[in-house]
Amino acid sequence: MTDTLQYLTRGTWVAGAAGDTADDLNPSDNREVLARYSSMSTEQVRDVVESAVTGARTWRRTSPIERGAVLSRAAARLRAGREELGAIVSSENGKTLAEATVEVEKCADFFDFYAATCRMPLGSILADGRPGTQAMALSEPIGVVVAITPWNDPMLTPARKLGPALAAGNSVILKPAPDTPLAAYHLARALDEAGLPGGVLATVITDHDTLGRVVLDDPRVAGVTFTGSTATGRLLQQRLAGRGVRLQTEMGGKNAAVVLADADLDLAVATIGAAAFGQAGQRCTATSRVLVASSIHDEVVGRLAALAQGLVLGRSTEPGTTMGPLVSAVQRERVLAHLSGASGEGLTVVTGGGVPDAESLRHGCFVEPTVLTGMTADKAIWRDEVFGPVIGVRAIGSLDEAVEAVNDSPYGLSASLFTVDLRSANRFVQEVDAGQVAVNLPTSGWDVHQPFGGFKDSGSAFKEQGLEGLRFYTRVKTAAIRSSW
């Protein structure tokens, strides 16, 4: 067990003073405590906000080139410690060691990408019809940003937000998920050790009431960026409504993969399996709905079941493990409740559907990779986000039916199609109502320079990643200077 987890504030590391104690447990074996921490007190959180206001002024005046240099140094630190940090993320979250190591690498990629944007133009010169006058459109940081991040990508999601926020010149109050505080701690430490000035970044874990009253309700907060459930995203929309504060939400998904009769089934099944069961299905972009041409339905179901049965469940840090546990006992019970409901609705469990019985897994938060059939559009598990290693398979008769079924969802994050027909591919890309669309590729796996975000109940109008990711964190000021008359 590590020492008591600390928080970054004003460039120093302090323990929480709320008086409570929480354990950061290893989901592979809940008997193991990885870290222990206390929440921040109300007074500490108030001080965090004050320091962020000051930090925003300092960082805004800092040269963009120096901002980029800090991000680059932080990226180098992450890469140098990729093995150790990967093991920490794997132990804390439950994703495999390979998946966790890739997450650390992508965090470094985010910092490097946004470091490079610090050398981009900061605005443009505009024509002006007035004599002796030059007009400009200037890009400015918005100020203090609150970043609320989830447990499923506990280091990557904060990096996805911190990269553009810091590159643009904002200060950030980072509130990580209580289930995975170590990942955010080490990410913040990399930035702190890279020379980020005090007050520009703070980490906070506190109770919901304090976060709302002291942080979210503070009129000096300019933006809130959130990744998590659609229900929580909606609550944030309501809380911030009527104010000038910006809100960026990346929320739930019920992502569909369509397999047409002409698809390469080896490619389709392997790709869908990886997208469905990678990270034990705990990705917003995980494939959970599979629509298959009727003529190949049974074959695809059999192949997906065989793939699921071939996965090796085990301790996340073991090299031979191909699927780790869910993040917590609470999340495991949520997934099992969905599966219980599916059985009650008369769906067929082709494989999985419960908790593995191996003695070595008894103290972990494991759920068997599951394939369900008998799906219709009205089944709860077909419509609700499960966030676990569960896929439902449904037969379709045409591309028209497939597109209609993909779009028949309150979510619109990601979708994929497997086909060798270019006309079908183009039509799918044009007609599917999702923010991310792929052909012969997984619903997951979007790179750092590619804009990311969903439609409908999956997200807000502000995209993350790529150059689009900077828009949320910047505002445009138009200026004109008359220098002669």
Cα distance between residue 119 and residue 387, in whole Å: 39
Are the CB atoms for 86 and 107 separated by under 8 Å? no
Q: What tokens were used for 94?
A: 């439950």
CA 4 to chain centroid: 26
Catalytic residue among 107, 118, 284, 365: 284
Cα distance between residue 483 and residue 100, in whole Å: 56
Please list, in sequence order, all residues whose beta carbon lies within 8 angstroms of the beta carbon of residue 275, skipping any fewer than 6 positions away. 255, 257, 285, 286, 287, 416, 442, 443, 444, 445
Mind spelling out the 3-state secondary structure of 397-422? CCHHHHHHHHHCCCEECEEEEECCCH
Nearest C-alpha neighbor of 96 from the set 272, 270, 269, 278: 278
Please list, in sequence order, all residues whose beta carbon lies within 8 angstroms of the beta carbon of residue 240, skipping any fewer than 6 positions away. 216, 224, 247
Is 107 marked active-site? no
Nearest C-alpha neighbor of 84 from the set 231, 168, 189, 173: 189
Q: Which residues are catalytic?
A: 284
